[in-house]
Amino acid sequence: MPDPVVELTDVWRTYDTEPPVHALRGVHLRVCPGEHVAVVGPSGSGKSTLLNVLGCLDRPTEGTYRLDGVDTATLSDRQLATLRGRRIGFVFQAFHLLAHRTVAENVMLGELYTGLPRAGRRQRALDALERVGLAHRVDFVPTRLSGGERQRVAIARALVGEPSLLLADEPTGNLDTRTTDSILALVDKLRDEGLTVIVITHDAHVSEHARRVVQIVDGELR
């Protein structure tokens, strides 16, 4: 069995409110390279908290999280930022594209903080756009693209820098059914090319594409 990309061991995330909220209660999760995992659950189930922990945007209160074998608890905030820049590609429901920058520039943003050299950055961005099938939209601004095209730009941005993990948060939440299918097909294709994918969703249609589906209810995985 290969070394896991993601390894959560008895992870708790507790918010210091009154009374304290246990958003994650002893979560165990192993995701191996090339796996396609869907995390499904109703709202308020701890889905977003799990995403934030997986994306190194938040730290577990208890338990360990190893990303590519690196124990994230031992890292400083700066090291954690660099780690997520290099190892994780984010895809958001709201796309999060910069409206005043071209498609290529938005994609290039994906490796701005990774320490990769400037030389070849545009070419790498063009390659990523090629992979998501948007080579013909390179110099458009996002406001002139359809929703599906925008999400493809966001996926291309997540792909530059060669991340270990593609972390998608409701990637089709803002899209119609037909576009959803094409985006899901794109994700399937990337997985087949060897990318590790974790999708967080409440949409059964999205989770159908995953090889493994985990349910999260009240902060516990089922």
Partner 1 sequence: MKPRDLVSEALAGVLARPARALLTVLGTVLGIAALVATLGISKTAGNQIVGRFEALAATEVVAQPAGADQPGATTVNAVLPWDSEARLRRLNGVRSAGTLSSVDLGGDLVRGAPVEDPTQPAERSISVRSASPGLFAAVKAHASQGRFFDAGNDARADRVAVIGAAVAAKLNIGQLEDQPAIWIGETLYSVIGIIDDTARVPELLGSIVIPDGTARDRYALTAPAAVHVDTVIGAASLIAKQAPLALAPNDPSLVRAATAGEPRKVKGEVASDVNTLFLILGGVSLLVGAIGIANVTLVSVMERVGEIGLRRALGAQRRHIAVQFLAESGLLGLLGGMVGASLGILVVVGVAISRTWTPVLDPWLPFAAPLVGAAVGLASGLYPAGRAASLQPVDALRGGT
**Which residue number, 58 or 188, has a Cβ lying nearer to partner 1?**
58
> Is 61 near partner 1 (CB under 8 A)?
no
Q: Of how many residues is the chain composed?
A: 222
Alpha carbon distance 177, 89 (integer Å) = 24
Contacts with partner 1, 81-100, as mask; x by CB under 8 A: xxxxxx-x-x-x-xxx-xxx
Q: Is 164 among the residues that bind partner 1 (CB under 8 A)?
A: no
The answer to whether residues 151 and 123 touch, using CB atoms and an 8 Å cutoff, is no
Q: Does 9 bind partner 1 (CB under 8 A)?
A: no
Q: Is 181 in the site for partner 1 (CB under 8 A)?
A: no
Q: What is the largest CA-CA distance in the chain?
A: 53
CB within 8 Å of 37: residues ≥ 6 apart:
31, 197, 198, 199, 210, 211, 212, 213, 214
Other C-beta atoms closer than 10 Å to the C-beta of 126 total 18
Least gap, CB of 85 to partner 1 (angstroms): 2
Query: How far, in Å, CA of 87 to CA of 80, rounded?
Result: 10
105 binds partner 1 (CB under 8 A): yes
* Least gap, CB of 127 to partner 1 (angstroms): 18
Contacts with partner 1 by CB under 8 A lie at 52, 55, 57-58, 77-78, 81-86, 88, 90, 92, 94-96, 98-101, 105, 109-110, 112-114, 118, 157
